[in-house]
Every structure is written in structure tokens, then in C-alpha cells.
Amino acid sequence: MSRGTLIDLLYLVSATTFILALKGLGSPKRARLGNGVAAVGMLIAVVATFFKQVDGHNLHHVALILIAMAIGVVVAVPTARYVRMTAMPQLVAIFNGVGGGAASLVSITEFVHIHSTHPATYVTLEVLLGVLIGTVSFSGSAIAFAKLQELMTGRPVTYPGQQIINAVLGAAGLVLIIVILVTGQTGLLWVLLALAFVLGIAFVLPIGGADVPVLISLLNSFTGLAVAASGFTLGSNLLIVAGTLVGASGILLTRLMSKAMGRSLSNVLFSAFGSVITASGGTGADARPVRSGSPEDAGVLLSFASRVAIIPGYGLAVAQAQHVLRELAEELESKGIEVFYAIHPVAGRMPGHMNVLLAEANVPYEQLKELDEANSELQTADVALVVGANDTVNPAAKDDKSSPIYGMPIINADLAENVLFLKRSMRPGFAGIENELLYNPKTTLIFGDAKDTLTKIVAAVKAS
Amino acid sequence: MGNVLLQYATVLMLTIFVGIEIIAKVPSILHTPLMSGSNAIHGVILVGAMLVLGSADTTLETVLGFLAVILATLNVVGGFVVTDRMLEMFKAKPKAPVAKNDEVAS
């Protein structure tokens, strides 16, 4: 067997591990194993590549390759390891963005390399598509990162004629591709690169912070497609398989994610969701009567309950209060009170994010109830404790047809006898929508930092 | 054109179906790790980056290829490590009351 055949065989092994890995990632038991399998497959592919021959010679610049890899590892490992769990979505965004950038660069570099040999039209098309998609993913992810990291406003950025401008940008990209293919003016490649960069930014700007996770999933899929396009250019089955796998599964995953929010994908992408504070919004909000209480009141109420439902949201994670929350739950359990957590599928910043954050705080997995189960159990709960959640308990999703979140499944906190709503202020949630639950007669608001308030509640529960 | 392109197109088509089939039924709590895991997998562009840098003739190609390898490595390594860190949290906990609970994580 020749060296080339052996390497191709190893690539086949590697591609197979990627398929198995995605399969594994779909089940809670095998997910971690799946990820490990893919990592091994990746290592095999990378090591094999060092021995590959291109254009009849061994790889040049091996030292440079190693240096570049070392730089990548030195930056990536600490970032991925030590960034707080709450910042996970941003991390995924940025690692996806650099992947898109890499795919775009690979296509460009290969094109520069083969340019003088006057490649066939279809090769040029592959390059152009790789550059377009990869670059959109790169600049789009960068904006998504900035939004999640709060380097810029998380609200949709809109301006007059935005949809039209974006449509024109997209059309210009396609026209440019056709022009390059027809005229062979390959210098225009750089214009396409610039255009794609602007398009990625313009595409992401009007998407609100609450929808950014869906967007990241879509951009992830784009990067996959860009990788597949590079695979065509380089003639690599491995890149085609891995890229297409991610591209196809990513688009489906994106649709599943928007479905979990009760919205269609086009609604997520093009409606500038959350740009206006709806309902009574803004100044009118403070005028309506709400009932507020002290942490001590809350402690007493909880101590005399027999079933308590905890409804956590992203605010919990921001306040780093998940450990105190678990402490409270344990304290209540020691008094014979039954405690469970009602987890909305999009609680936190991404689907499943809340499960990760609570697991980090050692909350027993059995206490976590998913939406449907949680809603049926809430009917028998004495107290629903809402910590840092807002949109996911907003009854407007059920009752108010004019509300932008109408149709999103929510946790029916108002089914419980009492609702304790821990809140920093009367400000509306991430999606920028007024929450009727705050004005419900069952609801007691407890203002303050979640961690601080919870600590006081724990003390009050201990005392009573 | 010809056979090679057709062969790639075949692979492409078949993989699209595999990709869709594999994701069809995934519990929503795993959506995030799945996204992150597939994010790491498209980091395989590293192989492409190595090939273009490894065959670079001009300074321009070398610079672009060098950047591509750095970015692709970030994608691969960061992607796998983040995913693993997420999934670490899902491992089955022992049922007994957790005594050593003070995580240093946060």
C-alpha cells in the first residue's frame, strides 16, 4: 500500500469518527465519549497530513505549521478552560468565527496558488463560495460575540431600509460571483471578500441578543459549508464529509432551536425581535402597583411550604448565585420540603445552558424537570421561586397575541399558590418585553442582587 | 471536470442525508453541546490549512496559510475543550448526598 493510500484510509477513519461523534452527542450518556472520539479522529487526520505529499513533494514549511499550531493551542486551551461557564455562548461564537475565517483563507490561498494554471470555472466557483460563506460566518460571529460579551448593545440594531440594503448586499455578492466566473477577472476576489465581510456584519446587526444562540447555530452551519467548499477546491473527501455533516446537521439544529422558542427561523433572522419595549413598557411600568417583600418574608413563606418549584434563568448565572441556590434547596429539603427545578429549554443563553450551570453547582440531575413535566408539577407547588428568569415565565406568551413572544412555550409559574420573583429592578428581560406576572396578585417581588437576596433567604429559612 | 467532481458531489449528497438523519431526535438539553461539538468538527479545516501552507510558494501564500493554520487550530482545540467542559457537567452524579460540594469553578 502506498503512502498516499494509507493516508486516505486514515482520513476515512477520521471521517467515520466524526459521524459517530455526532451520533453520540445526541444522547446524554454517550455525549462526552462522542466528543472524545471526534477529537481522536481529528488527531489522526492532522498527524496523517504531516506525511502527505502535495504536488509530488513533502509538505514545506513544517516548522511554520508547527509554530502556527503552537500559537493556536496556547491561546485556545486557557481560553476554553478558564472562561466562566456563563460566557460559553460567546466562546462557541468566537471559535466558530475563526473556523469560518480559516476556511475562507484556505480557499483564497489555494486560489492564489493555482491561479497561474488557469483553473476550470467550477474550481473558481468553489473558491468564491468558500470565501463568501466563510467570511460571512467570520464577521457575523464576531458581531455575535460582541453582542453576547456586551461589547455592544444586545438589542437589535436597525436603520431605515435595512432589509433592502441587506438584500442588495446579498444580491451584489451573487452578481459579483457571476461576473468573476464569466469575465475571469479574478482580482475581483478581493472585492468579494470585502463585500462578504460587510454582509456578515449587516446580517447579524438586526438580530436581538436573545436570538443570537440560534444565529450562532446557523453560522456554525455556514462554516461547515465553507469547509466543504474548501474540500472541493483541495480535492479532500475528509473536508467535504466533515463540512457537509456540520452544514446539514447545523441547519436542522438551527430549526429545532427556533422551534423550542416557538418561532420560525425566518422570524428569528429577519424580524429584529425585541427592538421595541412593547406593552406598557418604559416609563408606564413603574406606575402600576406591585407587591414587594423582604428576603425574610420570603424565607418564612418558603419554610412553611411543602413543595417548592425553583425557576432559574440567566440572571442567576450572571449573579453567580447557583451555589447559594443549591444551598437554599438543601436547607429546605432538610426541613422535609420537596424541591424541584423547572427548566425552560432556552433558560440561560442557549438550549441546555441552564442544565450545565446547575450541574456545575452540584444540583442533583433528578431534581431538574423539563418544561412539560415542570408545568404539570407546578399545579401542586406551594411556592414558585423565580430567580433571574423573566421572558420564560411571561404569561404574555400565552395570552397576548400582539406580544412578540406569543406562542413561545413558557413555564407557568402562576399555577403555584405563591410566586416569589427575585429581581434586580423593574427592567424588562432580555427580549425587552413587559412581564404581566410581576403584577399578578400571587406574586411577591424581592428586589436586589440574586446572590445577596438568596443568602439572606437561606439565613431566614435557617432561623425559622 | 468529469469523474472526480462527480465523485465529490456523490459524497456531498450522501453526507447531507447522514447529517440530517443523525440529528433528527436530540433532546433539547443537548442542543448546545451538539452545536459546540459540531463546531469542533468543522475545525478539520486545519487539515486544509496545513496543506495550503505546506505547498505555499510565495510570501503571500505563506502569510495567508500561516494565519489559516492559527485560526483553524483555535477552532479545533477551543471547540473540543469547550465541548468537553460542557459535557463534564452532564456526567451521572452519585446518588448519595454530595459532601465535597464546594466547587472552585466560579
pLDDT of residue A428: 64
Please report which confidence band the pLDDT of residue A339 belongs to, taking 50, 70 and 90 as the band edges: very high
Q: Which three cell numbers stand for residue A300?
A: 418564612
Profile chain B (106 residues) by mean pLDDT over runs of 10 residues. 83 93 79 91 97 94 97 97 86 44 41
Of A49, A61, A231, the CB nearest to B56: A61
**Residue A241 to residue B11, Cβ atoms within 8 A:** yes
Measured between beta carbons, the chain B residues lying within 8 angstroms of A135 are none
If pLDDT is split at 50, 70 and 90, which confidence band does A234 have?
Answer: very high
Contact B48 A46 (CB under 8 A): no
Look at A87-96, A425-434, B65-74 and tell me which has the smallest mean pLDDT: A425-434
Out of A61, A224, A235, the one facing B42 most closely (by C-beta) is A224
Q: Give chain A positions within 8 Å (CB) of B104.
A: none
For residue A326, the chain B residue with the least C-alpha distance is: B101
Q: How is A168-205 classified by DSSP, letter by letter?
A: HHHHHHHHHHHHHHHH--GGGHHHHHHHHHHHHHHHHT
pLDDT of residue B105: 41
Amino acid identity, residue A186? T
Round to whole Å and give the CA distance between A10 and A16: 10
pLDDT of residue B88: 81
A309 vs B30, residue with greater confidence: A309
Could B45 and A99 be called an inter-chain contact, meaning their C-beta atoms sit closer than 8 Å? yes
Q: What whole-number distance in Å separates Cα of residue A81 and Cα of residue A291?
A: 43
Give CA–CA dist A412/A398, Å, rounded.
10
Contact A257, A213 (CB under 8 A): yes
Q: What is the pLDDT of residue B104?
A: 42
Catalytic annotation, residues of A: 391
A12-46 core/surface letters (b: 16 or more CB in 10 A; e: else): eebbebbbbbbbbbbebebbbebbbbbbebbeebb
Report which listed range, A154-163, A223-232, B90-99, is most confident. Answer: A223-232
Q: Which of A84, A160, A4 is nearest to A357 (CA)?
A: A84
| A100-A258-A308-B101 Cα dihedral, nearest 10 degrees | -10
Could you write out the DSSP letters of every residue in A70-96? HHHHHHHHHHHHHS-GGGHHHHHHHHH
C-alpha cell at A354: 441552564
In B, which residues are within 8 Å of A227 by CB distance?
A: 42, 44-45, 48
Beta carbon pairs, A and B, within 8 Å = 381
**Min distance B6 CA to chain A CA atoms (Å):** 11
From A39, A65, A98, residue closest to B80, measured CB to CB:
A39
- Report the pLDDT averaged over residues A44-53: 95
Measured CA to CA in angstroms, residue A172 lies from A135, A179, A192, A196 at distances of 15, 10, 9, 10
d(CA A414, CA A398): 12
Pair A434, A428: CB distance under 8 Å: yes
The distance of B94 to chain A (nearest Cα, Å) reads 9
Return residues 3-42 of B near A (CB < 8 Å). Answer: 4-5, 8, 11-12, 15-20, 22-42
Q: What is the ipTM of this complex?
A: 0.86
